Amino acid sequence: MINILIAGYHGFGNCGDEATLQAMTVNIRDMAEDVKITALSYKPELTKTEYNIDSVQRFNVLQVFNAIRRSDIILSGGGTLLQDGTSTRSLLYYLSIIKIAKIFRKRVMLYANGIGPVNGKFNRKLIKHIVNKVDFITLREHMSAEDLNAIGVTKPETHITADPAFTLRSVSDARASEIFLKEDIPQNNDIVGVSVRNWNGFNGENYIEKIAGVCDRFVREGKTILLIPMQFPRDIAVSDKLRSAMREKSYILRNEYTPSEILGIIGKVRVMLSMRLHTLIFAGVKRVPMVGVIYDPKVEYYLDVLDMPAGGDIRNSEIDEKKLYNSVLRIFQNYDEFVSRLDKKVAVLEKKAHENDEYLERQLDLIRKKGG
């Protein structure tokens, strides 16, 4: 039996990161029967229940140490783990796991990682020193490869793949309909899904008012606005701010749902308007055309790859309410064209996402041969 340890940002209620873990565990089990999967988690009991895997408390040093020691391979990812935009402490956490794993002479794979931003000079040196010793790297976008190369990570074999969430499996349409009934949300063909997050940068709270204005216009035109929080409960608060800023009626998902359930819910909307990366990815999986509001390079990257419109970039300027409205309106007016365009792009990304596991299989084969 091969012991796999997954080290990512799990157990914090972030649907994007949970989607990555769910997709990873399902795909690994489909690929190999001789594996035991363990994940580090903030809520290990919940992780065990949700994904039928083993899990240890990510902040219990002894548990993490023993989990590394018992493992044959450590998967760092997916997601944007190696960055200091959130905090240097977060970066040091994930680098420490890699460092300890290599001390124990374990194989380490960066699995579908996003990289950066990494601004600290010392932090960049640490990444160069530690990551150059891992065994294999897959990255979910080209700009992450550019960032790693600029930092000086050149030794491990590296491949550009795609986010594992592109392989996520949805609940049935019947289950999604049950959720709509439970949440008292109308089911029709003119739902605009909206996913926002907190942003403390250039525009402060102004972006919420602009998006609210656009939502009001669509409600007055007969559309239904459904707010979809992706990080529970954090996104509930900012979604409520948007609802309060609106003059017309809107709906919000109040309960926490699994990634597969959120995927099913998004499959029932007509157009997705989102700041959240994984909301956009989920929309792509369900072939729901989307408009993105850019706050981060990763959102800009995937909008470009999916060939979907950006309704604004709040890193640089205030949202142009008219431009954002027209971006969504154009999708309604040219719906089949946008669906066709999206279908072609996502088919490629789904295949690229499965390459993460094809590369992992190579690592597992090396472990098997060594064990034999």
Note the pLDDT of residue 199. Answer: 84
Which residue, among 179, 174, 198, has the nearest Cα to 251 in the 3D structure? 179
The yes-or-no verdict on residue 130 having pLDDT over 90 is yes
pLDDT of residue 278: 95
Domain 2-160 shares a fold with domain 173-348: yes
Asked whether the predicted pLDDT for residue 125 surpasses 90, the reply is yes
Q: Is the pLDDT of residue 343 over 90?
A: yes
Contact 298, 261 (CB under 8 A): no
Do residues 37 and 2 make contact, with C-beta atoms less than 8 angstroms apart? Answer: no
Q: What is the pLDDT of residues 17-49, one digit of tens each?
A: 999 999 999 999 999 999 999 999 999 999 999
Given the DSSP bridges, would you call strands 54-57 and 224-227 parallel, antiparallel or unpaired?
Answer: unpaired
Contact 71, 3 (CB under 8 A): yes
Neighbours of 116 (CB within 10 A): 21
pTM given for the model: 0.94
pLDDT band at 118 (very low <50, low <70, confident <90, very high): very high
Q: Is 37 helix (H, G, I), strand (E, B) or coil?
A: strand
Question: Under 8 Å CB-to-CB from 88, ≥6 apart: which residues?
Answer: 120, 123
pLDDT at 189 (0 to 100):
87
For the cut 90, the answer to whether the pLDDT of residue 201 exceeds it is: no
Domain boundaries of the chain, sorted by first residue: 2-160, 173-348
Q: What is the average pLDDT score of the chain?
A: 95
Nearest to 50 by CA among 77, 15, 78: 15
pLDDT score of 163 more than 60: yes
Please report the beta strands in the chain, taking only residues with DSSP state E, as ranges in sequence order.
Answer: 2-7, 35-41, 54-57, 73-82, 107-115, 136-139, 157-160, 191-195, 224-227, 251-252, 271-274, 290-294, 310-313
- What's the start-to-end Cα distance of the chain, in Å? 12
Both tokens assigned to 259: 């990634």
Q: State yes or no: pLDDT of 104 exceeds 90.
A: yes
Topology of the domain comprising 2-160: Rossmann fold (3.40.50)
CATH code of 173-348, in short, is 3.40.50.2000
